[in-house]
Homo-oligomer: A and B are copies of this chain.
Amino acid sequence: MSMFSGLAAFPITPADADGRVDVAALRGLVRRLGEAKVDSIGLLGSTGTYAYLSRSERRRAIEAALDEAGKVPVMAGVGALRTDEAVALARDAKAAGAGAGLLAPVSYTPLLDEEVFVHYQTVAGESGLPICIYNNPGVTHFTFSAELIQRLSGVPGVVAVKNPAPPADQVGAHLADLRARVPAGFSLGYSADANCAEAMLAGGDAWHSVLGGIFPETTMALCRAAQSGDAAETRRLNERLEPVWQLFRDLTGLRLAYAAANILGLTQAKPPRPILPLSEAAQARVATVIEELELS
């Protein structure tokens, strides 16, 4: 399943100040990913600002991206605060032809494990869209236990998980533990780019990448090195990207991705308010790193 193996590249979703998606700019970003031969596209992820876009704009984005992506599989973010809204979004994604849905347990009132379980069961069951569990406590404020992932992996239609990659010295044990808990073919993928090369070396199935959404060639080279099992080359390439990982830590991935897309001239879109664009100084720092490392 190429949908859930190798590099899943997560682009931003350019939109105007009113939240109207710039379909032409989005097509340009998707085309760039296709040309770099990424394994799949993760549309409307967190960096893709799904949480800030209306149902109709999310549908417009999916339709344009699918049309542009051609044969590259597309997974679309279908998370919402309400279960009925997540079901509707998943049905929209399926109707438009998306191959899978990325479902985060978006929360306001903190959620209990049983509530999250029923939420996933309902969305997968009522939409018929294959669902990837989106574990990202930094934005959802819900942390999946290994036990809950195990239980969800037995729900029909729940086919993958995207976990934040633990540090290099822990990812092997993390992966072995999960592998023993889920059915064969259930994809164990990782996000948090700075730790993902090691996660792929350790045997992770997929790298869900923000960097890949904006610099697909650079990220693909690193991903392929890891997939080939060449630890020395993987670590050399990963080490070389340390200034980029430092930008992620200092500026956050979403703000960094918008600045990079602006610098590359791919779009002049800004993040949705209240999120502000990076300062001029921070943008200059991003531009320097892009140039010095020849990111592409």
Contact = CB atoms under 8 A, between A and B. Distances in A.
Contact of A19 (B46, B84, B116, B272): B84
A81 interface: yes
10 contacts: A18-B84, A51-B81, A52-B81, A52-B82, A84-B273, A109-B139, A109-B271, A109-B275, A110-B139, A141-B141
Interface string A72-104: 000000000111100000000000000000000
A83 B118 CA distance: 31
A138 B108 CA distance: 9
Contacts of A110: 138-139, 252
Tell me the dominant secondary structure on chain A's binding face: loop
Interface in A264-290: 271-276
Contact of A84 (B17, B109, B112): B17
A38 interface: no
Interface range, A side = 20 to 34
Contacts of A109: 46, 51, 139, 252, 254, 271, 275
Contact of A118 (B18, B116, B141, B274): B274
Contacts of A275: 109, 111, 115
Number of copies: 2
Nearest to A51: B108
Contacts of A116: 274
| A-B residue pairs, 5 tightest by C-beta | A83-B273, A119-B274, A51-B108, A115-B274, A83-B274
Contacts of A122: 273
A188 B14 CA distance: 40
Interface in A94-152: 105-106, 108-112, 114-116, 118-119, 122, 138-139, 141
